[in-house]
Structures are given as structure tokens and as C-alpha cells.
């Protein structure tokens, strides 16, 4: 009997009701990038980098939910081709239906064709498409059919891919779909023999034909519509087909014996296939006989199909030769998404270009610009030669080593990364390379935090991430780059919004280590402030800058008055006649006696990066932050200088310093260079007969009454005898001039003296209740050692310009004796309000570290990081944050139509997906076979669905409520 192929419907296998969720190769690369970024943020303490990393981690999780959701709302059926011919492609059709939201769908299948040797010709095939919400689409799976025989489409996997291509969730569809492949028709085949050709029409025998009406018969599938007796059908309601006959000589007689002259088996079968094609083409009836298949003369589609089936199944089947897998043809690179990727990449690199050397920024801009011009279809620019790209990379590396001395530092490494990224963009030729550009752009975005972690940098990071992820999505979906920017950006916005709560949670509770994992050379582009030595003009240069040095937040407590706002920094004790420098000698530790009646100040210092070890605390710190020490010069210092904005917690209280001091240090602080400034030396030696305190007062009186003035632009002092030149000629100077001259006079008068560098004052922000200390507040004052009192602070600048201590620098320069600062203008008030936001940002985002995390956990009663309550609480909060996301996923997956939504809910309760195009009745029948104990209820639900969809509208509300009531009675899987 001839074997007529019928379509095999493939539905999700009952053993795979839940999709298998796996990351793609792109997803694994994305995860590796996220982990690498996190490690860098941990090492360098990039708090804002934590936020970006956790946002990407949230995207990773949300896209997994997207892929899983999309897979659960898919159904499919597979249809084989009606016929297939050897040497041509067989086109299987997969009808895919998406009842949930729009998404990417990929089909994968294994096709095989077995021959007599049982060594099959096998191949992998796939098809990618973008399926809209509620849409049904027919996707082709084109399979090469080189041999005659059975062509089987093996396991078909229906794969849902998230919008970024990071995850895929796959269903394996049960059953197989196959088609019998007919022989390839012989080219230029001879004319086929006719039935009873010898007798011709004279024999009186007739055969099926188209000459004379011979009667009617019951309709058979494949009969031509023109042969149907429509009058009979209208009268009786039954379809009947009219039959005609002709002399027997007009019917073709196609038999195996008639092909003897063709040669080998396959050639003879090809000739028979050619004759069948000729008969079908000319509308001639034919008789057919082959290997047990005997067909009487007829002309119909069924006749043709039965003959081709017999030819396809003729045994033995041809030998199948093993063949290697064909190399996939590379997809052409669409230019529209490439231009969008280059735009996103350029935007992500903008902040870094402002900090790079000009030649690096110019090279990067030129390479990206040339790549953008190459992506313009109107300009046919030649690609840059690989040799030229290699030379540019080598030259860039050599130039960076010459400029920075290394390629491992922050600035040098970031600049090299930017160059390599631009080179990669200029030679992008494949979709894989284009995807890699987005991932590298995300990594490049995280490097901007070395230079700044301000709010604008955060906004840029979010915008750059938005664009780069949208560019990545443009390469993932199956629409060939036809999407507009809005179509790309809108779904990414949703993903990032869903990822934000998880990112905030991880930002607050992810463990923060107290130190770096490793050390690399640091190059602080923004490092400015106090130097390691003092010379004329040093502090005057800082006074020109309004940049913030640090902010001191007293937490709502008492702020020290202006006269007590001395922020102690480096100590300068060695003097060579021109400059004062720090001393590295080891002296015995002096005593520190806290004055119990003095006010106690608790404050948080947010220090801008300086690359220096000093921490600039109020005199005198009694409680230091972790990893900080108090030196023999009463200076707070850290072992790990911060290259980024850092927050430190302090407690300070006035104290008597060094009442017991080492003799070696006191003697060192009496040293003066021989022969320097003899007039000043003689002046001070005249005070040696006075008591120590009176010598100090004598020097201050000399400065107060000697006609000295306070200025940022004093005349240049001579190289020799600089103190004499200042005290007796110029009499104009800034704080370092007065502190240097005063220390010289005290040493010449026999009192140990030294200079303390730091900052004095600070602007109170009335909105935030904290102090802003700027670089222009840099100051130098003196300490003089007095018997029984220890080191006593003396500020000679205060006697010349009292306003420098009681007000601020600007007031002191114009009104040296003022007692109150000038009133704030509207612009200055606005600036302070903006600084309030900046300070809050610094405290809660940039400076959020392990100490603050431990404080937060302590206030919540959780305990330390890693404790059982901490782990349980973290798991609980994660679950709470994921629940709304899961609710949104479920809500988005349900159809909006109430009836379809009810049917969707039924499939969810049963755990049995509905196939594409499957009616409610057919689904109920299939579900009843799976759950026979609920068969009656399932058929009742299907009937209610049909009534709701196709019944009178007046009954819709009641029917819908009845349907929902019945649905609640279904027992879940």
C-alpha cells in the first residue's frame, strides 16, 4: 500500500513542561565581565562602581526571568513539506504562537537521512525570528535532501531568548516529523509508454481520461474543484466528483519494466519520477506499478502522491555517504545597528577623553569617526589595514610608557584600553565583534570612577549603560537591524528598572572589604593640596583654588568656632634657609594630655583624593579611623593613602601636647643654617633675656606693629637671607611667609619651633550643617615648645590679618581686621545648596564603606557581615524584591483578552502548555487524557470558553464569571 505522509504535530513534551534555562555564550561573557568589574571595584574602593556592577547583575537576573517567561508562553506545531525531491531542499514549517509578550524565538533541529549503510547524512539547522505579543508565525526549517528515501526531522527545540541574548530557555518537542524524498526526475526523459498502445482506440477499451463523461463517484481528497458536481452537492449536500474516460491508448503506462533502458536502479527510478511529473503537468491519466504498488489508470493529486511515495520507498535505499558539517555562511553586518553601537561606544568614552593626553583623545576620536564613516552606506571607505592597526597599538603603548612610565596605572591603563577599544571598533566585521563592543564599552564606563564619582558621572554611567545594552539588543533579535532607537531603548528601560531594586539591595548589604586586594601604581590626576615642603608662594598658589579639600560633618552636633578650626596636616621641622621640609628621624614619643574641660567634637571627614598619607584632623584627635595612626608630630596619618574620595570618622578634643618631649627633637627644632639672615638672628637674640612666653609675645608685637600686610602677591624674596628680606624690606606676604619668619625668630631666640601645615577655617553650609574646607583655606602656623606647657600653637598671620582666622580668605584680603564674613549672595546660596546634595551623595554613595555598612547593620540589629541573621535577612530581602518582579512577569505573560487569559490560567494550573492554533475543545481533550479525573470539568470549561467567545454578547459577563468559578475548581499540578 502506498504510504501517504501526514503532518506530525509536535507539542512540548510532558516530561519537559518546565523550560531548561541556560546562559548563552554571550551571557557567560557578560557574567565574566560583571565579575571582573566587581573585583576591580573591591580592590580600588570604587563605591559607585559597586552600583554599576550590581545593576548589571540585576540585568543578568531579570533577563533570565524574561527568557523563562517567554518560553512558558510559547507553543508550536511542526508540519513537514507535502513533498520533497532529492537534490533539493525540503522546507519544514514550524507554526509558533506566543501568548505572552513579544520576544526573540529561535528554532533548532537535527535532521538525518539514513541509507542502506545506516551511515546517515545529518545536519543541524536553525531559524531565528522576533515574535510579537499574541502573534502566531510560521518559521521555516530548510533541510537539504541529497538522497532519495526517508528524511527525518529529529528533536526540535523551541528556544526563547531574552532581549539581550544572555539567556535561552528551551523546550524539546515530542515526536518526529518526516517526509519521503522522491527521486530526482531525469532530465530530457524519453516519452512514456501508453496503456494498450498496440490496440489504440480500435480495441474499444477505455481508460480514465478527459474525453467523455463516464459518471460520478464520491469525492476524494485531492480531486480538482472543477470536477466536483456542484449541482449534485447543492441538491443532496454530498460532494461528488465527475469522471471522464478516453480510449485506453491515451493513458500512460508507467511500470518498472518500461525503464529497463535507463540503466542502474536510481536512474530507472528517476525516469519514472520524470514520467509522473510529465503526466501531472499535462493532466494525463496514468497507470503505475512498482514493487507491489499497483495503481489503476487515474489522474488526481492522490495518484501522483502515491506514485512518488512508492518511488521514494523503493528498496534498497541508496548508499548514504558521511559528510562533514557545512560551514555556516557569515551574516552580513547590518550598518544601522553598527552606527548605533558606535554612537553608544563614543558616548560611553566621553568622560575619559577629557582626562587623556590630547594625542590619545585625538587618536580615539579619529578611529571612531572613521569607523562611523565606514558604516555609512553612501561612503565606500576602505577598511584600515591590520598592519596599520597593529602599528597604532604598539605606538600607543610606547607613547603611554614614555608619558606615565607604566601601562599598569589607572590613567595609563585606562588610556590604553580606550585605544584598543577604538581599534577594535574600526575593524569590526562580524556580529560577534559588534556584541563585544557593547561589553567592552560597559567595562570602559566603570573606569571613569577613577577620575570622579559625582552625581553627573553616575548619570552618565546609567545613560551609557542604557545605550550600550540597547545596542547589544539590536544585534541579538531576529529583525535584521530594522528597529528604531525607540524600539531598542524602551525594553532596555524596563529591564533596568526591574534590576534597580536588586542593585540597591546589593549596594547596601554586599560585604565591603576594608582594604584593596592588590596594589598597582597610582597616578592621581586630581591629586592636589599640601606639599611635602614649604617655600615662599606654596600656600599662595593653593589660595587661588576654590576646589574642595574636604568636608567635615558634625552630625548635627556643635561646630567648633572659627578660632578653633585648625585642621592639622604635615609637620615641617628641617630648614635649609630656603624651604621647610618634613623630618623622617625617629624620636621618642611625646606625651598627650587631653583637657577634660575642653569640648569634644565628633565628626566625619570626607577627604578629596590627594595621594598623601595625612588625614587633616582637628587638634587633637582622640579617636582615629581604622588603619590610621597618630605620629610623633601629633598628625593623623593612614598607611594606605586614598586615591579616591574617602570618608573617615574622628573624635577630637583639645590637649596639652608634648609636655614631655625628647631632648633630641627639641635640639633639632633649634637648628638654623649658619650665616643666614643675620639681622633677624640679631633681633631675636636680643629677646633671650626675656621669659619664654615674653619672647613669643615680642615676636608677635614686632609683626603687629612693623607695618606688615597680608597679600597673595608679595614681592619676590632674595635667594639668600630670605627672612631678613621679608622682615626688613618687603613686609608683604602670605601665611607661609609669616610662619617661616616667626619660626626663624623663635629658634634664634632659643625656643624650639616648627611649622604645621594644614587648613584653617571652613565655610558653614547652613542647609547641610557641615563645614566646607577648600584648597584656598590652606594655612601654615607655628608651634613653640614652652617649659611646662609643651607645644603651644602660635599663628603669626592672625596678628597681621585677624580676619583670616575669624572670617575667610576673601574677607581677610580686603578687610584684614574684619570680625565677620561678608553676607552671602544669591549665587553663593545656590552654590551651597548644590553642595548639600554633593555632600549627601558623598556620604551615602561614594564614601559608603565597610564601617558604614557595619554601622547600618548594627542599627538594624542584624549583627556583622556573615552572621546568620545577616544571611537570613539578605535572603529574605532578595526574595521580597524578586516577588514584585515575578508578579510583573506573570502579569505580562497573561493575554489581555479575558477569555484567553482564563485559558492561559488553565494551562498554568495544569502545567500543560497549549499548542499553537490548538482550539479550546482540542486542548480540553488532550488535557482530559492527562488528567482523566478532571475530564468532565475540563470539557465544561472548554464549552464555557466557546460560549464566551462565540455566543451572544448579552451573556458575556455571567459566562465569564462562571468560567472563572469553574477554573478555580481545577486541581493544580
Give catalytic residues, as residue numbers. 735, 779, 795
Q: CA neighbours within 13 Å on the CB side: how many for 827?
A: 0
Integer Cα distance of 845 and 47 in angstroms: 7
Integer Cα distance of 233 and 229 in angstroms: 6
Integer Cα distance of 486 and 470 in angstroms: 10
| CA angle in degrees (0–180, nearest 5) for 905-910-914 | 70
Least Cα distance to 342 among 415, 424, 445, 417 occurs for 424
User: Is the previous residue joined to 801 through a cis bond, with omega within 30 degrees of 0?
Assistant: no
Integer Cα distance of 907 and 973 in angstroms: 10
Residue 41 three-state SS: helix
Integer Cα distance of 585 and 574 in angstroms: 11
Beta pairing, strands 732-733 & 709-710: parallel
Q: Are 610 and 550 in contact (CB under 8 A)?
A: no
Integer Cα distance of 347 and 459 in angstroms: 12
Q: Hey, CA dihedral for 669, 671, 672, 673, is it positive or negative?
A: negative
Integer Cα distance of 833 and 827 in angstroms: 10
Integer Cα distance of 889 and 882 in angstroms: 10
Integer Cα distance of 548 and 537 in angstroms: 20
Integer Cα distance of 879 and 888 in angstroms: 14
**Cell numbers standing for residue 390:** 597593529
Write down the number of H helices and E strands in the chain: 28, 35
Length in residues, the chain? 973
Least Cα distance to 662 among 749, 573, 595 occurs for 573
DSSP 846: I
Who contacts 740 (Cβ-Cβ below 8 Å, separation ≥6)?
A: 534, 536, 575, 580, 722, 723, 726, 755, 780
Q: What is the dihedral of CA 841, 842, 848, 849, to 10 degrees?
A: 170
Integer Cα distance of 563 and 559 in angstroms: 11
Who contacts 452 (Cβ-Cβ below 8 Å, separation ≥6)?
A: 351, 526
Integer Cα distance of 469 and 62 in angstroms: 13
Q: Are 33 and 439 in contact (CB under 8 A)?
A: yes
Q: Are 647 and 551 in contact (CB under 8 A)?
A: no
**Cell numbers standing for residue 758:** 594644614
Q: What is the dihedral of CA 887, 890, 891, 893, to 10 degrees?
A: 160
**Cell numbers standing for residue 255:** 511500470
For the chain, what percentages of helix, strand and coil (3-state, to nearest 5) are there? 45, 20, 35
- The DSSP annotation for 160-188 comes to EE-TTSSEEEEEEEPS-EEEEEEPPPPTT
Least Cα distance to 170 among 65, 74, 31 occurs for 74
Integer Cα distance of 406 and 16 in angstroms: 55
Amino acid at each position: 500500500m502506498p504510504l501517504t505522509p501526514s503532518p506530525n504535530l509536535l507539542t512540548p513534551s510532558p516530561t519537559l513542561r518546565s523550560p531548561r534555562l541556560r546562559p548563552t555564550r554571550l551571557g557567560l561573557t557578560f557574567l565574566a565581565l560583571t565579575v571582573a568589574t566587581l573585583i576591580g571595584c573591591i580592590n580600588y574602593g570604587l563605591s559607585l562602581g559597586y552600583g554599576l556592577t550590581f545593576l548589571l547583575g540585576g540585568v543578568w537576573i531579570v533577563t533570565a526571568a524574561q527568557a523563562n517567561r517567554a518560553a512558558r508562553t510559547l507553543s508550536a506545531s511542526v508540519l513537514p513539506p507535502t513533498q520533497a525531491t532529492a537534490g533539493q531542499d525540503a522546507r519544514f514549517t514550524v507554526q509558533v504562537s506566543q501568548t505572552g509578550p513579544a520576544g526573540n524565538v529561535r528554532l533548532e533541529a537535527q535532521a538525518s537521512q539514513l541509507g542502506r549503510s545506516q551511515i546517515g547524512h545529518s545536519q543541524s539547522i536553525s531559524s531565528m525570528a522576533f515574535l510579537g505579543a499574541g502573534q502566531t508565525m510560521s518559521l521555516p526549517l530548510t533541510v537539504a535532501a541529497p538522497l532519495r528515501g526517508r528524511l527525518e526531522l529529529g528533536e526540535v527545540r523551541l528556544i526563547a531568548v531574552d532581549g539581550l541574548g544572555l539567556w535561552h530557555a528551551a523546550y524539546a518537542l515530542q515526536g518526529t516529523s518526516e517526509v519521503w524524498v522522491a527521486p530526482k526526475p531525469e532530465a530530457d526523459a524519453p516519452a512514456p509508454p501508453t496503456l494498450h498502445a498496440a490496440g489504440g482506440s480500435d480495441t474499444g477499451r477505455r481508460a480514465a481520461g478527459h474525453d467523455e463523461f463516464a459518471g460520478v463517484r464520491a469525492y476524494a481528497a485531492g480531486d480538482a474543484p472543477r470536477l466536483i458536481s456542484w449541482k449534485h452537492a447543492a441538491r443532496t449536500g454530498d460532494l461528488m466528483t465527475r469522471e471522464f474516460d478516453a480510449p485506453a491508448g491515451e493513458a500512460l503506462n508507467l511500470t518498472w519494466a518500461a525503464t529497463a533502458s535507463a540503466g542502474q536502479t536510481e536512474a530507472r527510478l528517476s525516469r519514472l519520477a520524470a514520467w509522473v511529473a510529465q503526466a501531472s503537468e499535462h493532466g494525463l491519466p496514468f497507470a503505475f506499478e512498482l514493487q507491489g504498488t499497483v495503481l489503476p489508470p487515474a489522474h488526481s493529486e492522490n495518484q501522483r502522491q502515491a506514485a512518488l511515495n512508492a518511488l521514494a520507498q523503493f528498496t534498497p535505499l541508496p548508499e548514504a555517504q558521511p559528510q562533514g558539517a557545512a560551514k555556516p555562511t557569515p551574516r552580513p553586518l547590518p550598518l544601522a545597528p553598527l552606527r548605533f553601537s558606535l554612537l553608544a561606544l563614543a558616548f560611553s568614552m566621553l568622560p575619559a577623553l577629557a582626562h587623556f593626553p590630547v594625542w590619545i583623545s585625538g587618536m580615539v576620536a579619529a578611529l571612531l569617526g572613521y569607523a562611523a564613516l565606514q558604516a555609512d552606506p553612501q561612503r565606500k571607505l576602505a577598511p584600515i589595514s591590520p598592519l596599520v592597526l597593529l602599528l597604532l597599538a604598539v605606538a600607543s603603548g610606547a607613547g603611554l610608557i614614555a608619558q606615565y612610565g607604566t601601562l599598569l596605572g589607572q590613567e595609563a591603563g585606562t588610556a590604553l584600553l580606550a585605544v584598543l577599544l577604538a581599534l577594535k571598533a574600526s575593524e569590526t566585521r562580524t556580529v560577534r565583534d559588534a556584541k563585544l563592543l557593547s561589553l567592552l564599552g560597559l567595562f570602559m564606563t566603570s573606569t571613569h570612577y577613577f577620575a570622579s564619582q559625582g552625581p553627573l558621572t553616575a548619570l552618565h554611567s546609567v545613560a551609557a549603560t542604557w545605550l550600550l545594552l540597547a545596542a547589544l539588543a539590536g544585534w541579538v533579535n531576529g529583525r535584521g537591524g530594522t528597529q528604531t532607537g525607540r524600539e531598542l531603548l524602551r525594553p532596555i528601560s524596563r529591564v533596568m528598572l526591574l534590576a534597580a531594586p536588586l542593585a540597591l539591595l546589593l549596594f547596601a548589604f554586599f560585604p565591603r572589604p576594608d582594604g584593596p586586594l592588590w596594589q598597582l601604581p597610582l597616578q592621581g590626576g586630581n591629586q592636589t593640596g599640601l606639599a611635602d615642603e614649604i617655600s615662599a608662594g606654596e600656600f599662595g598658589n593653593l589660595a587661588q583654588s576654590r576646589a574642595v579639600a574636604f568636608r567635615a560633618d558634625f552630625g548635627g552636633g556643635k561646630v567648633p568656632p572659627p578660632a578653633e578650626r585648625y585642621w592639622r596636616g604635615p609637620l615641617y621641622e628641617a630648614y635649609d634657609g630656603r624651604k621647610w621640609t618634613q623630618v623622617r628621624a625617629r624620636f621618642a614619643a611625646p606625651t598627650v594630655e587631653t583637657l577634660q574641660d575642653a569640648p569634644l567634637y565628633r565628626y566625619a571627614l570626607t577627604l578629596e583624593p590627594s595621594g598623601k598619607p595625612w588625614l587633616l584632623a582637628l587638634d587633637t584627635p582622640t579617636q582615629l579611623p581604622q588603619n590610621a595612626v597618630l605620629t610623633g608630630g601629633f598628625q593623623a596619618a593612614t598607611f594606605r593613602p586614598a586615591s579616591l574620595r574617602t570618608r573617615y570618622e574622628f573624635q577630637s578634643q583639645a590637649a596639652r601636647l608634648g609636655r614631655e618631649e625628647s631632648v633630641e627633637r627639641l635640639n633639632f627644632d633649634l637648628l638654623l643654617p649658619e650665616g643666614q639672615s643675620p639681622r633677624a638672628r640679631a633681633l631675636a637674640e636680643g629677646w633671650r633675656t626675656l621669659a619664654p612666653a615674653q619672647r613669643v609675645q615680642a615676636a608677635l608685637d614686632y609683626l603687629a606693629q612693623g607695618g606688615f600686610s597680608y597679600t597673595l602677591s608679595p614681592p619676590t624674596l632674595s635667594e639668600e637671607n630670605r627672612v631678613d628680606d621679608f622682615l626688613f624690606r618687603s613686609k608683604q606676604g602670605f601665611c607661609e611667609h609669616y610662619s617661616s619668619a616667626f619660626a626663624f625668630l623663635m629658634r634664634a631666640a632659643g625656643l624650639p619651633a616648627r611649622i604645621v601645615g594644614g587648613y584653617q577655617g571652613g565655610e558653614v553650609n547652613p542647609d547641610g550643617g557641615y563645614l566646607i574646607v577648600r584648597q584656598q583655606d590652606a594655612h601654615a602656623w607655628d608651634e613653640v615648645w614652652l617649659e611646662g606647657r609643651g607645644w603651644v600653637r602660635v599663628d603669626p598671620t592672625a596678628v597681621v590679618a585677624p580676619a583670616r582666622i575669624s572670617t575667610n580668605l576673601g574677607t581677610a584680603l580686603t578687610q584684614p581686621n574684619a570680625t565677620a564674613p561678608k553676607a552671602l549672595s544669591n549665587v553663593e546660596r545656590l552654590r551651597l545648596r548644590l553642595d548639600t546634595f554633593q555632600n549627601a551623595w558623598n556620604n551615602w554613595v561614594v564614601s559608603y564603606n565597610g564601617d558604614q555598612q557595619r554601622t547600618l547593620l548594627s542599627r538594624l540589629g542584624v549583627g556583622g557581615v556573615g552572621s546568620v541573621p545577616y544571611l537570613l535577612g539578605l535572603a529574605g530581602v532578595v526574595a521580597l524584591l524578586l516577588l514584585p518582579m515575578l508578579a510583573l512577569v506573570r502579569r505580562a505573560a497573561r493575554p489581555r483578552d479575558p477569555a484567553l487569559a482564563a485559558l492561559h490560567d488553565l494551562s498554568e494550573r495544569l502545567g500543560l502548555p497549549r499548542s499553537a492554533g490548538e482550539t479550546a475543545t482540542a486542548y480540553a481533550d488532550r488535557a482530559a487524557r492527562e488528567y482523566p479525573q478532571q475530564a468532565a470539568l475540563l470539557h465544561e470549561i472548554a464549552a464555557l470558553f466557546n460560549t464566551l467567545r462565540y455566543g451572544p454578547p448579552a451573556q458575556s459577563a455571567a459566562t465569564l464569571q462562571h468560567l472563572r468559578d469553574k477554573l478555580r475548581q481545577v486541581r493544580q499540578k
